[in-house]
Structure 1
Amino acid sequence: MAAGVAIKGTIRIEGHLHIDGSVEGDVYSNSSVTIGKSGIFTGKLHSKIVSVSGKFNGECHSDSIAVKSTGVATGKLLSNDLVIDKGGVFNGQSSALADAIVTDIKMEVAKQESKKAKAS
């Protein structure tokens, strides 16, 4: 996706996505997503491999996340392999992917139990 291009919405892609423009929304890739130096991403990102050289703001679920020396990642990163290069910036929360899934399930169970209790 070239610099100057802006997309708002949901992207589902089988293969690599390279963002040099702006994306706001949800991205699902079964391969890799690269946010280039001029790229800006805001939203939820699900991919096997993520590389951030530009700006990321949101929630990322990935097997491997790399914040490169020019990258800025803000938000929640869920991965079992997180690398922040010298000069790279990360502001937010990080969790191991499996731990995050267990936490999400526990929170959902607690919500359901709370709804049941209110209904009775």
Structure 2
Amino acid sequence: MASKSNSTFSVLGSDLAIKGDIKASADLHIDGSVEGDIACSSLVQGETSTITGGVKAETARLAGTVNGSITARELVILKSAKITGDVYYDALTIEQGAQVEGRFAHRDKSVKAAAPAQQAKQPELSVAN
């Protein structure tokens, strides 16, 4: 991140439905529905939220429905989450009860061009109750 000063925080309430891509340098909390790709520093998704599109964030805490790929350095998937799509991560925590339909692949910074299947590094995985 370019700035280490107090970061801003944006909230999309449960009454909002957005069609289009979202790009934010701020932390983002989404309770509504988004149809489009999301790129932000930190994402917190509420249980009632639906995202249809790709998610790219440094950190993400997902509790709702995501239909699309997810790329995050630190990813937490809560038990209420329903994810359909591939997941790329550096550190991963999944609560018991979360539903994920897709492949998991550890991001390897030294082999960015390689396909996830070619990466030899063991993924870091933890399961929370």
Q: TM-score range by the shorter chain?
A: 0.7 to 0.9
The reply on whether 1:4 has 2:15 as its aligned counterpart is yes
Q: Percent identity?
A: 28
Q: CA deviation at 1:17?
A: 0.7
Which residue is equivalent to 2:59?
Answer: 49
Q: How does 1:20-39 map to 2 (within 5 A)?
A: 20-29=31-40, 31-39=41-49
**How many aligned positions are there?**
103
Aligned with 2:75 (options 45, 49, 65): 65
d(CA) in 1 for partners of 2:104 and 2:86?
6
Which residue is equivalent to 2:87?
Answer: 77
**Deviation above 6 Å: which 4+ runs of structure 1?**
none
1:2-22 C-alpha deviation (Å, 9 max, x unpaired):
112111111111111111100
Q: CA deviation at 1:80?
A: 1.4
Q: CA deviation at 1:45?
A: 0.9
User: What is the TM-score when the length of structure 1 is the normalising length?
Assistant: 0.79
User: What is the TM-score when the length of structure 2 is the normalising length?
Assistant: 0.74
* Structure with bigger gyration radius: 1
d(CA) in 2 for partners of 1:101 and 1:74?
23
Point out where structure 2 has 5 or more consecutive residues left out of the alignment.
1-11, 116-129
Structure with more helix by fraction: 1
User: What SS does the corresponding residue of 2:113 show, helix, strand or coil?
Assistant: helix
Point out where structure 1 has 5 or more consecutive residues left out of the alignment.
105-120
